Structure 1
Amino acid sequence: MKYPLILGFTIVAVDLVVWRARLPGNDLARLFIRLGLLFALSAVLFSSGLSPFTQAPYNDVVELHWLGQILEIIWWLMGARLLTLSLDTLLLPRAWRKQRLFSDVFGAVVFLAAAVAALGFVLELPVRGLVATSGALAIVLGLAIQSTLSDVFAGIVINTTEPYAIGDWVTIDDVEGKVVEMNWRATHLLTGQGNTLIVPNAVAAKAKITNNSRPGDVHGLSLILEIEPEARPKTVLDALGRALTGCNVILATPAPFARMKRTTANSVQYEVVAFVDDMNKKLAVSNELFDLCYRHLAAAGVGLRALGVPATALTSRDEKEALLKRVNLFDSLSGEDVTRLAKRLSRHEYQPGHQVLAPDTVPDSLSIVHSGVLSVSIVESGGTREISRIGPGEAFGEAGLLAGLAMQVSITTLTPSVLFRLVKDDMTSFLKDHPDVATQMCELLAYRQDKLGKLTTSMPAEQEKDHSVFQWLIGKVWNLHSLHDDTKSS
């Protein structure tokens, strides 16, 4: 064969272009092209007497001899690289390829073997002496980098047993984060604060690992609540159970539960455990569940307070006033107004399964939930769909009471519930004594019109063109409750 060196280096240059330019884009196709180039280079070498297992010819021409030696050494290195890529692409599982640890360690071993073979066959150096010397050197290096070697072997164990993979949310000891990289030395976690935490493999192999991403459709969350020791456990557990019922985002299976965890000298610890189907929901559901626990405990007369601080005793009148102050609709009322309005509230108790409000009805009273859980559902073409659940401190029916708007939802009790109601006559007399309150309430209703429009009869189009939502609502309230002109004009 004429000019084997030129042809051989041309093949090497083409392989270098394919490698660096990543042509073609498909990894498997690129691998087969590079394997074909290696076979072509092997054919050129063996057909021209440039065997990688012997020294290169051309001893009489030093330049050609060394070019042949270099080409034979390149053959060994290309073979080592392509052997590593073949194993990585064709044999290793996809999860292992992402982690890179096994392929990196295997590649290092293959390249070391190829380098020793090139030294022995191509350069004809005394490999036995080199191996013996390198063995002693390896002992010295092993003692110097034993912690690094510990990370490498621990990483091999982690990659083999696969307690977690890239993309999983894990807790290693007390640190929680998302696995973003796994290499021969450490595992990289992206924490909830947006920081990257590097956990050495030797530490991870000895640590207690909790994989929050397995199974993929069930993720648990837990809340620890400190409750005053005077509170009866059954009262607390019943309130926490209603809080779990009030959150319709958590899974029914596995079933959520509340339990007494431990007692201390100043408090009793209770744990609330629930499950969601998406890891991204845990934060929002935890916050919602804590709010529900707070409200249901308050409705049961149990407060979350600092240890050692005595609880404040509430009278029956204070209970009604405290309930009114938790309703957004009455945020603008003064303390005296709340006291007067609290006297007009009437108490109503319902058993589970009672329909408090039917669809397409105009409520003639404002209902405020004191305790219990109620389900809000809407009738669609495909049947009834639950859209939310309401609990202590939440109110409904204000649009019907103030403006005579029909509600398009059905509200049913899920647990034993206690409601306080303010009927239309009491509201009318109250608004006549406090006409400015009607304006303030209509401002709030106008602000919430986008939400109310989905649940109540929407505003007529002809009136919407002539008046703002607030003007239309204040007119409805003025006509329905026969208020004075100063209410309408305001």
Structure 2
Amino acid sequence: MNNPLIFGFALVAVDVVIWRCTTPKNEVARLLVRLCIYAAFSALLFGSGLSPFSQAPYEDSKPLHVLGQVLEIIWWLMGARLLSLALDTLLLPQTWRRQRLFSDVFGAVVFLAAVVAALGFVLELPVRGLVATSGALAIVLGLAIQSTLSDVFAGIVINTTEPYHIGNWVIIDGVEGKVLEMNWRATHLLTSQGNIVIVPNAVAAKAKITNNSRPSALHGVTLMLEITPEARPSVVLAALERALAGVRAVIADPAPYAIVKRTSIMSVTYEATAYVDDMGKKLAVTNELFDLCYRQLQAAGVELKPLGVGYSPSSPSLAQQTDPRVALLRRVEIFAALTAEELQRLAPMLSRRSYERGDTVVTPDKVLGHLTIVDSGVLSVVAEDASGPVEVTRLGPGDALGEFGLLAGMPARVTISALTSATVYQLKKEDLTPLLKDKPDVAREMCQMLSRRQDTLGKLGTPTPVAQSEQSIFQWLLDGMKKLHDLTF
């Protein structure tokens, strides 16, 4: 007589072990195993007279009667749990399963129904009176938790309409972040500052929602720049378009653009917009675009100054007083060690050259006998690999090419062409040699600076020594410089 109870509790124990140990690991397989255990448990109860639709037998033994009642109640609760799991695992879409709202609400309803059924069938309590009383109690509780209920129903609407999913970057009610969790009460956002912001579903349902992750392959990057009204708009727009063309990660369709957004007495606001195909690129592209806008505007002669400073035609600015060639040399990294007087000596030796869009500036395997500094426009650097020509970088104002040919006689095994109309200045090797002979410390600093830029060696196709340490590259460059310029230090 005790065997049905023993086997029943043994099956319950096995089900608990499978649930807690998550064995087997596959979710569907684990559910099927638990359903088989539940089927065996049901067959055992009904076969031994322990029907969950009536009170347990063993009236003559109080302990056995209570244990039978417990098994019958467990049957109802286990069935409710497996029903909710089956719905969650087999029927719900993957996105709904991650959000947990529907499974939680359905599970709560099923468990409530199982509890009422167990009270009515197993314990034979007056369920009708209980339901009537619970209805009045539900009204009182509903009024008390009105805001929570609004979050629940708003969550149902959000999960049904799916304005965003877990993992999306969204802006909800002015808060921008990545969706980490969506539950019955709120949406959890991880902001760019690393903070968790909890937005109630009722607020999210009423707020304007911007989903930055949709469409998945198109994300906009927009910069707002306030420029002095003294600058001609066509000059500014042309400079901004060159800056947009200088960012390699920007996609061609839809095309980037620059427009005049609004004007005022103190400034003109310009908007530069570009698009990328990956949300993860937005930060890097934004920073690169800001830098290129600054350089292209400066190259176009647009003075960047505090907008509150008045304009005085009779008082030229410091930028207007400085030789633009000196300012250009100062922006080249390898000349950072030169003094103002040394830059003044080199500036007259620069020769100016212009290229139209599509013109070739450098051909592969050519050892450049001069340093080329981009003054305006955009140059494209293309290298050959096993799959064909690949663009490796783009050069804008202040960028230099040919440093390794100028200092060490190394070829740049790439093709460099003008992506837009461009103006460059060139410095011949013979013009730099006297300075290097007079200033050996400057020569060493130039080699030291180039040795830190190992990525540039690869981008420009320059052959490097087998050992890739900074010291070996420095010595390699220094030896090449001594040989090329006939230096004896």
| Fold agreement, TM-score > 0.5 | yes
In structure 1, the residue matched to 2:314 is none
In structure 1, the residue matched to 2:48 is 48
Percent identity between the aligned chains?
64
CA distance in 1, matches of 2:454, 2:69: 83
CA distance in 1, matches of 2:367, 2:345: 25
Q: How does 1:223-242 map to 2 (within 5 A)?
A: 223-242=223-242
CA distance in 1, matches of 2:363, 2:453: 22
Structure 1, unmatched stretches of 5+, are none
CA distance in 2, matches of 1:144, 1:304: 60
CA distance in 1, matches of 2:80, 2:232: 72
Q: How does 1:130-149 map to 2 (within 5 A)?
A: 130-149=130-149
In structure 2, the residue matched to 1:175 is 175
Structure 2, unmatched stretches of 5+, are 312-316
CA distance in 2, matches of 1:225, 1:85: 55
Q: How does 1:272-311 map to 2 (within 5 A)?
A: 272-310=272-310
Q: 2:484 aligns with which of 464, 480, 486?
A: 480
CA drift at 1:433 = 5.2
CA distance in 2, matches of 1:474, 1:34: 73
In structure 2, the residue matched to 1:364 is 369
CA distance in 2, matches of 1:348, 1:145: 76
SS in 2 for 1:112: helix
User: How many residues are paired up?
Assistant: 482
CA RMSD of aligned residues (A): 2.3
Contact kept in structure 2, 1:317 and 1:342, CA below 8 Å? no
In structure 1, the residue matched to 2:116 is 116
CA drift at 1:430 = 4.1
Contact kept in structure 2, 1:376 and 1:409, CA below 8 Å? yes
Deviation digits for residues 81-137 of structure 1, max 9, x if unmatched? 111111111111111111110000011011111111111111111111111111111
The answer to whether structure 1 residue 81 and structure 2 residue 81 are counterparts is yes
Deviation digits for residues 145-177 of structure 1, max 9, x if unmatched? 111111111111111111111111111132211
CA distance in 2, matches of 1:134, 1:190: 40
Contact kept in structure 2, 1:405 and 1:456, CA below 8 Å? no
In structure 1, the residue matched to 2:125 is 125
In structure 2, the residue matched to 1:4 is 4
In structure 2, the residue matched to 1:251 is 251
CA distance in 2, matches of 1:468, 1:43: 79
In structure 2, the residue matched to 1:22 is 22
CA drift at 1:204 = 0.9
Distance verdict in 2 for CA 1:234–1:40, change over 3 Å: same
CA drift at 1:475 = 4.6
CA drift at 1:304 = 3.8
Distance verdict in 2 for CA 1:449–1:180, change over 3 Å: closer
CA drift at 1:216 = 1.7
CA drift at 1:455 = 3.2
Normalised to the residue count of structure 1, the TM-score between the two structures is 0.92
CA distance in 1, matches of 2:3, 2:386: 81
SS in 2 for 1:261: strand
Deviates most, 303-312 or 57-66:
303-312
Q: Which amino acid aligns with 1:184?
A: W
CA drift at 1:247 = 0.6
Deviates most, 433-442 or 54-63:
433-442
CA distance in 1, matches of 2:344, 2:420: 29
CA drift at 1:45 = 2.0
CA drift at 1:289 = 1.0
Distance verdict in 2 for CA 1:157–1:36, change over 3 Å: same
CA distance in 2, matches of 1:276, 1:153: 36
Q: Which amino acid aligns with 1:172?
A: I
CA drift at 1:210 = 1.4
Contact kept in structure 2, 1:294 and 1:303, CA below 8 Å? no
CA distance in 1, matches of 2:137, 2:227: 64
Q: Which amino acid aligns with 1:244?
A: L
In structure 2, the residue matched to 1:102 is 102
Deviation digits for residues 262-316 of structure 1, max 9, x if unmatched? 2233212212211212211111111111111111111112244332124736337
CA drift at 1:343 = 1.9
Contact kept in structure 1, 2:393 and 2:459, CA below 8 Å? no
Deviates most, 440-449 or 355-364:
440-449
SS in 1 for 2:64: helix
CA drift at 1:435 = 5.1
CA drift at 1:234 = 1.2
Normalised to the residue count of structure 2, the TM-score between the two structures is 0.92
In structure 2, the residue matched to 1:421 is 426
Q: Which amino acid aligns with 1:480?
A: L
